[in-house]
Structure 1
Amino acid sequence: MPEPMPDLPEPAHHELDSMLSRKFGKEVANYFSGSPLNRVSFLRTDHPFLSLALKHPSTSFLLFNNLNPLIVSSTKLAFASFKDVEPIIGEDIYSKSEEDLIKEYNSSKYIPQLVFLGLDDRNQDGLVYKDYYKGAPYFALDITPKDPIKSAAETLISSLETKGVSFSKGRMHISLPPQEAAIYAESRHLLDWNARNPFCASCGHPTFSVNAGFKRICPPRDLASSMTNSSASPDRPPCATRTGISNLSFPRTDPTVIMAVVSADGQKILLGRQKRWPEYWYSTLAGFLEPAESVEEAVRREVWEESGIHLGRVVIHSTQPWPYPANLMIGAIGQAIPGGEEIHLGHDAELEDAKWFPTDEVREALQIGTSGLGETAGPQYKEGGLRLPPRTAIANQLMSAVVGGFLGAEPKI
């Protein structure tokens, strides 16, 4: 049996009536969005604040081992306290200013990756900073055992496991409650990006994590060279990232379009399948947005390349963060033009098959034929019927919008 799907996030201010909601319907919030945290991004360089947040009694740390989060179960994250992670972190890295840390940079000194995620202002026992910024701080911390923290990390992992928590296995975490899923998504995205960018793309030298985990820079000095050779200068060669307009390395987000394609008469939906998917499993088409391309253009291009279908009007429906590793799924609905509905799979070999499905068949499959990849469908599903992604996938939301009246068959609200 598939695990029960969690609720989806509540859209912001969904209870309020407005001119926009009356015209376009209420906002759609997809899984991995809807974080309860105020990111207070302008405080990421405020080290007195970060130092206070690091050690506050209300602070929670989401720990990762090889990008696997610490969990109580598949439906609940587990969090650690500062006391738990103090042996890993060592000295308070925020006790010095960012400027001083850059001056003292030593690439041979391993610093566990720490990311400040934000403040949960629902917690009345959270910290209060400058009488205005309030809430319980959240951090993500990579405790993957490696020198010189290997022993401390292994000790912590063993201690945590005796308490009944463990690091999850596998990539997808679509059974978490929506707000925990959003915290997990932010954490995984940032830790993965930092791990993938240890060197400067311009000069090739090691980079340094700053801005509470949200930027990486190429420092002008590296004490590692002078420590191994007393006659060597700690100064690095000039780097383009330090001249003119600063070219710091920022977290990468890859925009991806994903679209429900509707027939010209509005009675059918185009779905495709990849060879590796379970039998009878279909989904909406998707692809990466390319440079100098609008979202609408990308939708039309990807649909034509993969299926041969020509689209007319394209509208954006909603978006979904997808932290595997760094996608933003831009959900759209496009309608085929009359005479442009013939399927042709010869352009791009990505799809094994593509078909037009009547909206009634899609509606039924959304009710009884959805599940996560690798899971069985629900008890009402009959073998041979259409299978679709679960509602935690934006593809499901796009199909649901079409069969639910997004094209004007029913009121939007």
Structure 2
Amino acid sequence: MSKKQPDLPLPAHPDVDSMLSRKFGREVANYFAGSPLNRLGFLRSDHVFLSRALRHPSTSFMLCKDLQPLVQSAENKKLAYVGYEDVKPVIGEDPYALGEKEMHEQYNSEKTVPQMIFLGIDERVKDGLDYQGKNRYIGAPYFAVDVTPRGSVKEACEKLIGKVEQGDVQFGKGRLMELEASDAAIYAEARQLLDWNARNPFCAQCGQPTMSVNGGFKRACPSTDLARKAAAPMSTTAAAPANPSERPPCATRTGVSNLSFPRTDPTVIMAVVNHAGDKILLGRQRRWPPYWYSTLAGFAEPAESIEEAVRREVYEEAGIFVGRVVIHSTQPWPYPANLMIGAVGQAVPEGETIDLGNDPELDDAKWFDFAEVRDALRVGTSGLGDAAGPEYKEGGLRLPPSTAIANQLITSVVNGFASVEAKM
């Protein structure tokens, strides 16, 4: 059956009149964007703040198992949260009791430390944490905790999972594209950071284990590791090192710090119109359902502008030559770490012949009349694994759901974005 798509997030300051909004129209906010949280990135190294935020009564903890969050029910697509007392057996009394320098000195690579991410505070909660730093910050803190059972906390994680999975409250499955918009944005931040930390347990320079710092937004290579003290000496006659826990030198600890930061992969996704401005180019992959088409997309390459990436990808996949390119909107895509950069491009008059011979990625590509696309937007949108709407007739064009930036690009183009008569 077809699924009802959640409302999209509201754009920032939609009611504020400005020169830019009058000229370019209202900003488009895509699904997975529009978080209600102030991330307060400059406080991630402030362990006094993090320690207080951790234990405040207003604090919410999002639990993730295998990167899937705890949700309230299949019908009520909202995240489910727990409190500090629930997660304390897993994370310990206070992971931020020590300063970052002391954490480095007491680092032990053999000790399982559950990954935790400080997501930010919800400033709409006026009775939340009240913290005075360089400025005053008031709001309800949010953290994400990886409770995938492993290592020395396996039993504690299993107990917590058994406790929270009651009735309809379960860990989600799939891509959870039905979460309400604000929850989807919070989950996107949590998932991308948890995934990045899990993928980067070792230093890229020296190969030694790394540790999570700055509220989960950086990884560092400590100069010492208490696990090394327990290692057997290479020789009974060899002199003991002055500091048996000291690790080999690493370039990340000298000169300009080369800490490991989360990566985001820029990906272009584009609605391409023909030179006459009355058709849109859509393609399909072989694995997609019959009649299901979407906009073209691909990764931006090193030393390439977004506009160049759009032209290259469209030429490689469909043989179309694109002229002018404009940026439409962007969408975080936490599977695992993409930023979808939505663009609209227009083919040059002599470059509109489709040729799929360069790159085998697409099974088909076509120019579609705007009228056919408008009808498909009304009756034929759905997720890849879902049925189309009740008015859809077999054989008609099918398109991505409103939660996908592809849908927003297509909708914008066929409703006048690329028309010289369009009113911004």
Same fold by TM (over 0.5)? yes
1:214-293 aligned at under 5 Å gives the runs 214-229=217-232, 231=240, 233-293=244-304
SS at match of 1:282: coil
- 1:65 equivalent in structure 2: 65
Q: Distance in 1 between matches of 2:264 and 2:141?
A: 24
1:131-210 aligned at under 5 Å gives the runs 132-162=136-166, 164-170=168-174, 172-210=175-213
Which AA in structure 1 matches 2:153? I
Cα pair 1:22 1:412 within 8 Å, conserved: no
Match of residue 351, structure 1, among 362, 367, 383? 362
SS at match of 1:264: coil
Worse-matched range after superposition: 50-59 or 84-93: 84-93
Which AA in structure 2 matches 1:343? I
Distance 1:229 1:125, change over 3 A: farther
Cα pair 1:65 1:144 within 8 Å, conserved: yes
Tell me, yes or no, if structure 1 residue 321 matches structure 2 residue 321: no
Which AA in structure 2 matches 1:25? G
Aligned residues: CA RMSD: 1.1
Task: Tell me the TM-score normalised to structure 1 length.
Answer: 0.98
Cα pair 1:64 1:144 within 8 Å, conserved: yes
SS at match of 1:149: helix
Task: Tell me the TM-score normalised to structure 2 length.
Answer: 0.95
Which AA in structure 2 matches 1:346? G
Which AA in structure 1 matches 2:9? P
- 1:52 equivalent in structure 2: 52
Worse-matched range after superposition: 331-340 or 65-74: 65-74
Cα pair 2:8 2:30 within 8 Å, conserved: yes
Which AA in structure 2 matches 1:11? P
Q: Distance in 1 between matches of 2:287 and 2:102?
A: 51
Cα pair 1:256 1:329 within 8 Å, conserved: yes
SS at match of 2:417: coil
Q: Distance in 1 between matches of 2:50 and 2:172?
A: 28
SS at match of 1:133: strand
Deviations along 1:29-80, whole A, 9 cap, x unmatched?
0000000000000000000000000000000010011111111124111111
Distance 1:325 1:91, change over 3 A: same
Match of residue 395, structure 2, among 384, 388, 399? 384
Identity across matched positions, percent: 66
Cα pair 1:309 1:344 within 8 Å, conserved: yes
Q: Which consecutive residues of structure 2, in runs of 5 or more, have no partner in the other structure?
A: 234-239
Q: CA deviation at 1:26?
A: 0.8
Deviation beyond 4 Å, 4+ runs, structure 1: none
Q: CA deviation at 1:162?
A: 2.6
Q: Which consecutive residues of structure 1, in runs of 5 or more, have no partner in the other structure?
A: none
Cα pair 2:108 2:226 within 8 Å, conserved: yes
Deviations along 1:166-195, whole A, 9 cap, x unmatched?
11122x111011000000000000000000
Which AA in structure 2 matches 1:113? Q
- 2:237 equivalent in structure 1: none
Tell me, yes or no, if structure 1 residue 301 matches structure 2 residue 312: yes
Tell me, yes or no, if structure 1 residue 21 matches structure 2 residue 21: yes
